[in-house]
């Protein structure tokens, strides 16, 4: 039996299903299913559930019924942090990402999951999914790999939260978003963040003012351009460099031109050059 090659989702043949570019079908392409298996899998999918901005996909404590794949849009998951209602954002989810893995252990969702913008999802009843995993060994292996990958992702966040300064956290986040969007065929340098500074801060372990300042500093250093929720990455390379750089402030200072207008910038730089060594000297052409 011929194997379905792991081609780009956008080119996948929708002949055996009513949901063109079905995100769930696309998700299991790397599992390298046979055509039969692929049809079998596709047959259990509930296609194209839509939810509006601020609408909940599910609340904490609700039972797990289905796993969902994001087909379009953006969602966040968040969890209660203490006795009283403080919530912390646990993840942001976008196209091609699976929702509900954390509920399998207990059979109940621990997270609220809510749409940050209008979103479409494909779902599959979890009991069906388990059944298919047993019927299709390749799917089982793929699922194990995906669960493991989720664990590794979370370890990445733990590293971010455990030891990085504000600018590195934001830089890592931007690179992460960039890669995830690029993987789905969107621009890797130019996007609109669907979450507020406060939600982002909650995710990154920072207050919203600190997030805002971090954006400003990265912007001053010309690594990005920010206009409210719109982000333009000016240098993916430097954004990556800053994460490994031991002295973040110095790294940013090297690339920063001070002030918001030419005159002020020139004056302050001139003063600095006179007073100190030339490490604050702006880039050529300023």
Partner DNA sequence: CGTAGGTTTGAATTGGGTCAATACAGGTGG
Partner DNA sequence: CCACCTGTATTGACCCAATTCAAACCTACG
Q: How far is the CB of 167 from DNA (least distance, A)?
A: 7
Q: How far is the CB of 92 from DNA (least distance, A)?
A: 14
Q: E strands of the chain, at which residues?
A: 46-51, 56-58, 66-80, 87-94, 98-99, 112-125, 190-192, 224-227, 230-233
Helices and strands of the chain, counted as H and E runs: 10, 9
Whole-angstrom Cα distance, residue 179 to residue 133?
Answer: 29
Decide if 57 contacts 77 (C-beta within 8 A).
no
Q: How many Cα atoms sit within 13 Å of 187 on the Cβ side?
A: 10
Lookup: tokens for 90: 């646990």
Interaction of residue 114 with DNA, rule CB under 7 A: no
Contact with DNA (CB under 7 A) among 36, 130, 131, 209: 209
Interaction of residue 81 with a second copy, rule CB under 8 A: yes
Q: How far is the CB of 133 from DNA (least distance, A)?
A: 39
Interaction of residue 205 with DNA, rule CB under 7 A: yes
Work out what residue 137 binds among a second copy, DNA, none; the CB cut-off runs from 5 to 8 Å by kind. Answer: a second copy
Q: How far is the CB of 236 from DNA (least distance, A)?
A: 20
Interaction of residue 191 with DNA, rule CB under 7 A: no
Whole-angstrom Cα distance, residue 10 to residue 237?
Answer: 28
Work out what residue 208 binds among a second copy, DNA, none; the CB cut-off runs from 5 to 8 Å by kind. Answer: DNA
Lookup: tokens for 99: 């929702």
Q: How far is the CB of 148 from a second copy (least distance, A)?
A: 4
Q: Is 265 exposed, middle or buried (0-12, 13-18, 19+ CB in 10 A)?
A: middle
- Which letter does DSSP use for residue 76 in this model? E
Contact with a second copy (CB under 8 A) among 121, 204, 218, 231: 204
Q: Which residues bind a second copy (CB under 8 A)?
A: 79, 81-84, 86, 88, 90, 101-106, 110-111, 130, 133-134, 137, 140-141, 143-152, 154-155, 157-159, 161-163, 202-205, 243-244, 246
Q: Which residues bind DNA (CB under 7 A)?
A: 165-167, 196-198, 201, 205-213, 215-216, 226-229, 249, 275
């Amino acid at each position: 039996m011929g194997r379905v090659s792991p081609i780009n989702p956008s080119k996948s043949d929708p002949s055996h299903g009513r949901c063109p570019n079905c995100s769930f079908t696309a998700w299991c392409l790397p599992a390298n299913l046979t055509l039969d298996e692929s049809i079998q899998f596709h047959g259990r999918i509930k296609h194209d559930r839509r939810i509006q901005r601020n609408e909940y996909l599910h609340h904490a404590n609700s039972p797990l019924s289905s796993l969902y794949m994001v087909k379009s849009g953006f969602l966040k998951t968040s969890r209660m942090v203490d006795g009283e209602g403080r919530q912390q954002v646990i993840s942001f989810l976008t196209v091609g990402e699976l929702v509900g893995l954390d509920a399998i252990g207990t059979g109940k969702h621990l997270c609220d999951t809510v749409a940050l913008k209008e979103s479409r999802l494909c779902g599959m009843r979890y009991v069906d999914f388990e059944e298919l995993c047993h019927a299709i060994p390749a799917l089982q292996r793929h699922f194990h790999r995906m669960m493991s990958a989720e664990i590794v992702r979370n370890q990445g966040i733990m590293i971010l939260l455990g030891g990085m300064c504000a600018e590195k956290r934001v830089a890592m986040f931007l690179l992460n978003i960039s890669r995830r969007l690029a993987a789905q065929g969107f621009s890797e340098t130019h996007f609109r963040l669907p979450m507020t500074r406060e939600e982002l801060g909650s995710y990154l372990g920072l207050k919203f003012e600190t997030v805002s300042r971090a954006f400003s500093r990265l912007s001053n250093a010309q690594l990005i351009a920010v206009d409210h929720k719109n982000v333009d990455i000016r240098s993916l390379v430097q954004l990556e460099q800053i994460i490994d750089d031991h002295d973040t402030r110095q790294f940013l200072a090297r690339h920063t031109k001070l002030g918001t207008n030419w005159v002020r910038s020139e004056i302050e730089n001139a003063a600095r050059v006179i007073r100190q060594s030339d490490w604050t000297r702006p880039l050529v052409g300023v």
